[in-house]
Amino acid sequence: MILVTGATGHIGNVLVRELLVRGEHIRVLLLPHEDCTSIEGLDVEKAEGDVLDMASLRKAMQGVNLVYHLAGMITIMPGPNETVRRVNVDGTRNVLEAARQSGVQRVVYTSSIHAFQRVPEGILIDEHIPFDPEHAINEYDRSKATATLAALEAARHGQDVVIACPTGVIGPHDYRLSEMGKLILDWIHSKIAWLVDGAYDFVDVRDVAQGLILAAEHGKSGEIYILSGQRIDVGDIPKIMKEVVGLKRICIQFPLPVARFFARFGPFFYRLFHTKPRLTPYSIETLAGNCTISSEKARRELGFQPRSLKETMRDTVIWLQENSRLLKKVKA
């Protein structure tokens, strides 16, 4: 039996689908009243629980030999966020401890490329880059770095834990609409594509799911595997969309200094109007920062093989178009 936390999220629901194709028996940990649209109709066993509730975790892990821990929260806002810290850090520690107490054979923890210390251009980002929570630029980075260090500590004490760090995840089955999913959906329904200078490394959600399975099968305990895809300038994304699905958009691109200026007001408008901003200092610095990332270790040791970004963009646009009615209330 396999337990998946965070199964209704983007990576989680795609992972569950892939595991089911392989004939695995899956149990998913769900919060009370959690929206299960993304896994609706899938043949999974449902266990009500919370990563902050040890008793529910131990109950969910009965008879489980492998845990994929994906449950977590993302924020692009500045400043401390106690909820994000508790879910990402305390929740991960609880999952690790419950797995140890329950005799689970292996835990695969999905961290993030943002767990690594941010390094300047010219330095290749690979598994040798350290984790430095104290100098993280926002709560998400800090919490993922801290949780990753906790997973490494558990492995040093003999627990079988493998860590995967995906880059920017995009792809179909994006039921909750990631930031990138919202942006692409906006481009689909608008004649103008608003862009910011910068670049990032994007990886297909289906390849991340495959990478997690490969980590469970071939990964070494206490090791970290970066699951990256392809680095691309933001301005090239509409060009790829035009090439693969024929979407033609007028592109208006903001230079970084202009984007940085407006991004300063993003958190203010969020607090005033309770609408989630696209531009924050964190998101701009992510696009402006070093995104030269290597997945060589995962390719060599796991057999990780990410697909082309063109294929990902084509499938993402088609899925968003086919499910746009369902996603309208999510986007709102």
Q: What's the predicted TM-score (pTM) here?
A: 0.93
**What local confidence, expressed as pLDDT, does residue 237 receive?**
85
User: Cβ distance 34 to 175 under 8 Å?
Assistant: no
Gap between the Cα atoms of 182 and 174, Å rounded: 9
Within its chain, how far is the Cα of 194 from the centroid?
23
d(CA 274, CA 257): 26
User: 103 phi and psi, to 5 degrees?
Assistant: 75, 25
Residue 118 φ/ψ, nearest 5 degrees: -75, 130
Mean per-residue pLDDT of the chain: 91
Residue with tokens 């940085």: 260
Angle at alpha carbon of residue 292, lines to 287 and 296, rounded to 5°:
140
Q: Both tokens of residue 173?
A: 């089955």
Please report the pLDDT score of residue 212 as a whole number. Answer: 98
pLDDT at 226: 98
For the chain, which domains are there?
Answer: 2-171+201-229+292-307 (3.40.50.720)
Nearest to 309 by CA among 218, 219, 158, 207: 207
Residue range 206-226, pLDDT digits in tens: 999 999 999 999 999 999 999
Average the pLDDT over 175-197 and give the result.
83
The segment with the largest mean pLDDT, out of 79-88, 178-187, 264-273, 322-331, is: 79-88
pLDDT recorded at residue 200: 94
pLDDT at 55: 97
Average pLDDT rounded to a whole number, residues 157-185: 94
Q: What is the pLDDT of residues 244-286, one digit of tens each?
A: 888 777 777 778 787 787 777 766 666 666 666 667 888 888 8
Contact present, 50 and 30 (Cβ < 8 Å): no
Residue 139: how many CA atoms within 13 Å on its side-chain side? Answer: 18
Q: State yes or no: pLDDT of 306 exceeds 80.
A: yes
User: Which alpha helices (DSSP H) does 10-53 contain, by range?
Assistant: 10-21
Q: Dig out the tokens for 283 from the structure.
A: 């998101």
**Cβ of 237: how many Cβ atoms within 10 Å?**
22
pLDDT at 253: 78
d(CA 199, CA 291): 7
Q: Which helix (H) or strand (E) holds 194?
A: strand 192-196
Other CB atoms within 10 Å distance of the CB of residue 273 = 9
The position carrying tokens 């810290």 is 85
Strand-pairing partners, residue 120, are: none
CA pair distance 41, 167, nearest whole angstrom: 29
Percent share of the chain, pLDDT over 70: 94
- The pLDDT tens digits for 66-86 are 999 999 999 877 778 899 999
Q: What are residue 196's DSSP bridge partners?
A: 254
Range of weakest confidence among 64-78, 140-154, 294-308: 64-78
How many whole angstroms separate alpha carbon 90 and alpha carbon 167? 23
Q: Residue 64 corresponds to which tokens in the numbers above?
A: 């489980």
Q: Residue 44: which pLDDT band, with cuts at 50, 70 and 90? A: very high
* Half-sphere exposure in the Cβ direction for 193 (13 Å, CA): 23
Cα–Cα distance measured from residue 142 to residue 115, given in angstroms and rounded to the nearest whole number:
7
Q: What is the pLDDT of residue 332?
A: 47
